[in-house]
Structure 1
């Protein structure tokens, strides 16, 4: 009986050791990747000062910004994920939808983009490797990489069509989740305000990022747009809604638990449990054989 139990333990020990090896060698590369199935809606709210071009005066208004990001699962592969993103900034006036028609006076800006990122580094894919219908971006776009470091990163700004430096500013805790804080700043960059009107763009964004998964937990925006002569056209301050932040923290904690299960818990259980099972199995097999040999000797 000891020999049978010992052999079972040897088999279990070998299985656990293989699971531990896979948890160390395979799991991190397989788990720490941007999924190819993404359907995410992000909401920011705040206030703005908007120029009335007919009167030359500005007025304060409540605004909301909606971003819907969906992956193109069929076009994506093991290395690359393709995204389609629709954004809309509108004035809140009564029951206001996430976006409105082009001729609606509540519309402040709207746009659609397609882009592609590396599933491991989260960096935008080199434009030379993209099909014609995908916009060539540079730097990070919609998330940080897994295991985000306490260092500066380059983040793409689609208003000026170039990356800007996101400086690491420290750490913070949001609803029990430790996050890294990164800040981007742009000062009076030349832009097209629309209809070939030259303008200037200043922007400051603060990103609170879960360093384990690279997910953006909170974003705070302080942005201004001016005519070339310095006349203020739009001054916006907005951030993720409280509900958005709460949901992001919950999702991040769930994803962290999954990552740590496969990359830490499974290897730990595999190596320790496998070693113990192998030792116990060897001991039982050896003692079982000795018992049978002793019984055979006595019977003869």
Structure 2
């Protein structure tokens, strides 16, 4: 194999490699990214928010009067895990929520408990439903000593739950509230840095208006068969309300309202930080709270923020590698391969032509791009010719005139 053939094969190889890299870049940026940008199936997180608030004292249920304490330490904890059904298309999250007073022990400090289960589309983070799966459920309350299997009550979810979609946009999303059992708008408010990560800030109002005024509180949906925690009848003296007869029974309904702020990683949709203002109260008129059950504002603690930022970066790095870094790299290498192959092929063709017609290698052919500068006569015109000797007059015959 001569050198020209080898160069021609190398040129074809470079162009083929370049084309393959460009195709790979296109696939990575479209098909492969769609396969990678999904909610993970190995989520196992504990999210903790803490702060202070006003809280009902559960121990006062057996006292002479219901007691409400102010400025008590509170902790809101979410345990998130993955359950069945979870596969390539959907993921089912089970979330255990508890709100506790940390100045009380065991049941005396437990204010709220909820186990929420929801099945999400792994790409859009929207709740999905089927004939066998209504899109979600909540677990009926049990005491700590209850050893019977938990009983779930179907609760169809809609909108987002616990996450935002990959490539979160600056717009309004419906976000499900399991206590209100309904989705409410989460509105984009702006960008904000959280531990070095650029996040989108969203706010949600449940029962409040944008100015923080109580306008449309939600009747509390009890999970007990007898609705014992959504409507309570007790003596007036227990409620602490004025009445002619302290023993007069007074019935109050429980209401709920909330305001939330989410800080969301726009690449992965992970909520890296949250702030919850919850208000649970009893009243005879929905817009006139009388007895507070819990009124709190809690924010994700630093450990939770750090772990969520790390999880968001890991997911974002994976998506960025397959969806941005590798496609850009492959595109650049592909273009280099194509251009290099074309240049090498052009050089090879010129080299082969020069071997077939040696004149192509002369300066006046311009093979190397140079133009002839000598415009004098052809070399043949400069060849020396033999001159005949001139005869002198003495050499001529005497009878011939000069």
- Answer yes or no: same fold by TM over 0.5: yes
- Give the total of aligned pairs: 290
Contact map agreement 1:225 1:233 (CA 8 A) in 2: yes
The structure where strand makes up a greater share of residues is: 1
Matched, 1:85 2:95: yes
Greater CA drift, 148-157 or 124-133:
124-133
| C-alpha distance in structure 2 between counterparts of 1:185 and 1:201, whole Å | 12
Q: Distance in 2 between matches of 1:220 and 1:157?
A: 14
Q: CA deviation at 1:266?
A: 2.0
Tell me how far 1:108 sits from its aligned partner.
Answer: 1.4
Structure 1 residue 133: Cα displacement? 7.5
Please state if 1:272 is matched with 2:357. Answer: no
- Select which of 13, 21, 26 maps to 2:18: 13
Distance change >3 Å, CA 133–CA 141, structure 1 → 2: closer
* Alpha-carbon offset, residue 261 of structure 1: 2.2
Trace 1:1-300 onto structure 2 (pairs within 5 A): 1-52=6-57, 53=60, 54=63, 55-59=65-69, 60-72=71-83, 75-93=85-103, 100=106, 104-126=107-129, 130=133, 134=137, 135-187=155-207, 188-192=217-221, 195-196=228-229, 197=231, 198-229=253-284, 230=289, 231-292=291-352, 294-295=354-355
Residue 23 of structure 2 aligns to a residue whose secondary structure is: helix
What is the alpha-carbon distance in structure 2 between the residues aligned to residue 8 and residue 278 of structure 1? 9
- Secondary structure of 1:288's counterpart equals helix
Moved over 6 A (4+): none
TM-score by length of 2: 0.66
For 2:331 and 2:162, the matched residues in 1 are separated by: 37
The answer to which of 152-161 and 266-275 deviates more is 266-275
CA contact (8 A) 1:16 1:269 kept: no
State the secondary structure of the residue aligned to 2:180: coil
Structure 2 gaps of 5+ residues are 1-5, 138-154, 208-216, 232-252, 359-402
Q: Separation in 1 of the partners of 2:8 and 2:180?
A: 72
Give a deviation string over 1:98-122, Cα, whole Å, max 9, x none: xx5xxx2121121212210111211
**How far apart are 1:168 and its partner, in Å?**
1.8
Distance 1:294 1:91 in 2: 91
The 8 Å contact of residues 127 and 136 in structure 1, kept in 2 or not, is answered as no
Contact 2:275 2:298 in 1 (8 A): yes
Q: Residues of 1 paired with 2:314 and 2:86: CA distance?
A: 24
Deviates more, 1:203-212 or 1:22-31: 22-31
Q: Quick one: distance in 1 between partners of 2:221 and 2:281?
A: 10
- Alpha carbon RMSD of aligned pairs, Å? 2.4
Moved more, 191-200 or 228-237: 191-200
The 8 Å contact of residues 265 and 271 in structure 2, kept in 1 or not, is answered as yes
C-alpha separation between the residues in 2 aligned to 1:132 and 1:141? 11
Stretches of structure 1 lacking an aligned partner (at least 5 in a row): none
Cα distance in 2 for residues equivalent to 1:222 and 1:205: 6
Secondary structure of 1:81's partner?
strand
Helix, strand or coil at the partner of 2:18 = helix
After superposition, the C-alpha distances for 1:248-300 in whole angstroms (9 at most, x for unaligned) are 223323332322222222222222321220121232234235435544666xx
